[in-house]
A = this chain, B = another copy of it.
């Protein structure tokens, strides 16, 4: 198979319906543009982005905290059971060319920190407002911005 380029989608495990909808649309648009999604592989924003990407024919890599692949959401094409808990957050952002954060709390904050430390571009879609993180107004703009910065 040809190499697949990934964008990290990070965010809340228990998002609002609007945030989940945004994550789904981000995943769909990335697939449409020829990119895959890498995420933490569980529910919420992770699952919505996985579903959006997968339903549009895209590739989804889920890097889950536990040792069992069965903990992943059903839209992952490939699952990496890291067995490393929150340390897997580092791998999620290192595996993408850049990251889109959709809402999210402390775990997402750790991922943004790791991404910025590694020199990856980060776009916030209703997520943390931090120096070095550009704000997008909607999923289409978030995808445009990350692909312009990292694609």
Chain A: residues with CB nearer than 8 A to chain B?
1-4, 6, 36, 54, 57-61, 63, 67, 69, 76-87, 89-91, 94-95, 105-114, 116-118, 130, 132
Contact A132 B116 (CB under 8 A): no
Contact A114 B110 (CB under 8 A): yes
Copy count, this protein chain: 4
Cβ–Cβ < 8 Å partners of A95 in chain B: 69, 78-81
Contact B80 A80 (CB under 8 A): yes
Contact B118 A109 (CB under 8 A): no
A1-B58, A86-B83 known; A130 vs B109 contact (CB < 8 Å): yes
Assembled-state Cα–Cα distance A60/B54 (Å): 19
